Amino acid sequence: MTLRAMESFGHAPTGAVTSADLLSNQWTSIAGGLALVDLTGGRKYVYRTSGAGNLTLDLDSDLSTLVLGLRLHNIKSTTREYLAVFLDGIQVLGLLMKDVATSKLVYIRGASFLDPRILVSTAATAVGSNDHWTAKVVFDNVAGSVEFYQNGVLDSSVAGVDTINAGTDCDTIAIFATYAEYGTAGLSDIWVDDVTNHGETSVLYRPVDGVGSSADWTPTGAASNWECTDEVPPDDDTTYNASTTSSDLDQLAQAGMDGAVGSVLAVQAHVRARKETAAGATIKVGLLHGVTHSQSLAMALSTSYEQRTEIFEDVPGGAGWTSAQLDATQVSYENTT
């Protein structure tokens, strides 16, 4: 099983993402919580709003190594924050929590805050911050390990330890929404990975932020094409770019990685678009790096705003990605009607 996380263009990291936005990369609601289905096709991602009780994430498999990525914001408890419990059936393997006194992330072997603390993060996370935390746990009685990453950078780690209180492998995660004074309000951007070929992955959102190499579409509501497409959240028909000519192309600069991570596994370009006529209309989504322009196949549009997206595992004209290459890459969309 391979689960990874994808984030949609047009939404802030703490903004709601719908199943339509994520196409097949979505969580499916079931009675009693959320379950993973159709585990092919990339990372699974969910936006969690505040709620009562806790939700179970059924992994549909037993994982000896698990990576849980989540963003902490709007924390309400004044005592301690139970974030997630790792389970093997009804047996509790370990507990992920935030120590309210120190604002640090903690992995505990067992289900109680009194159980042994296996790892405490070096950095703290502020209430309401946009820090994205990743916890990687290897479940083992002897050779277990725990690693914490803050915004994709290793924060702290421990290896060769007992990380299991009971059970063997993780098949379920209980995500706390709100539970008395020990709960959490405002978990979001939750994703799960079994680390097959992915390792410690964080998903970073970057909007367009400047003039690119081409601006054929006509802007409305703002002075330039990029200013019509940089809103978070999107404002739809308030500011937008329009085209009635096939081959019209916009290429827009974007903010890049800002030194946030040392490696880039893939880049996913997203465009939010709709058509205005009953006749068919198509669009290509692409990336421009240097003089090389890579594009998706033509994708049909509907009369409602929807995401159109393409994943690029290699930089246009090359192999793999570096942060510097992404910083210099432009997002594009072309009218191919």
pLDDT tens digits along 29-73: 333 333 333 333 334 444 333 344 566 667 767 888 887 777 665
Residue 236, Ramachandran bin (φ over 0: left; ψ between -120 and 50: alpha; else beta): left
- Does position 154 have pLDDT exceeding 60, yes or no? yes
Parallel, antiparallel, or unpaired: how do β-strands 33-35 and 53-63 relate?
parallel
pLDDT(27) > 60: no
**DSSP classification of residue 324:** H
Q: What is the pTM of this model?
A: 0.53
Task: Tell me the CB-side half-sphere exposure of residue 150, using CA atoms within 13 A.
Answer: 16
Tokens found for residue 125:
């996370």
DSSP 180: G
Closest CA to 192 of 112, 270, 111, 137: 137
Give the start-to-end residue ranges of the domains of the chain.
19-193, 208-335
Least confident of 69-78, 151-160, 248-257: 69-78
301 and 307 in contact (C-beta within 8 Å)? no
Q: Characterize 86-96 residue by residue with b for buried, 16 or more Cβ atoms within 10 angstroms of its Cβ, and e for exposed.
A: bbbeeebbbbb
| Level-2 CATH architecture, domain 19-193 | Sandwich (2.60)
Q: Which residues pair with 58 in a beta bridge?
A: 35, 172
Write down the pLDDT at residue 189.
Answer: 54
Residue written as tokens 């083992």? 140
Q: What are phi and psi of 255, to 5 degrees?
A: -70, -15
DSSP reduced 3-state for 112 = coil
pLDDT, tens digit (0-9, with 9 covering 90-100), for 90-144: 999 999 988 878 889 999 999 888 899 999 999 987 655 556 778 889 999 999 9
For range 152-179, the mean pLDDT: 84
- Contact between 93 and 71 (Cβ < 8 Å): no
- Across the range 149-166, mean pLDDT stands at 88
Closest to 23 measured CA to CA, from 310, 334, 329, 285: 310
More confident residue, 206 or 301: 301
Q: How far, in Å, are 19, 152, 154 from residue 134 at the CA level?
A: 23, 7, 9
Query: Alpha-carbon distance 20 to 163, whole Å?
Result: 38
Residue with more model confidence, 9 or 229:
229
Q: d(Cα 285, Cα 193) in Å, to the nearest integer?
A: 27
Q: Which pLDDT value is given to residue 331?
A: 93
CA 28/CA 19 separation, integer angstroms: 9
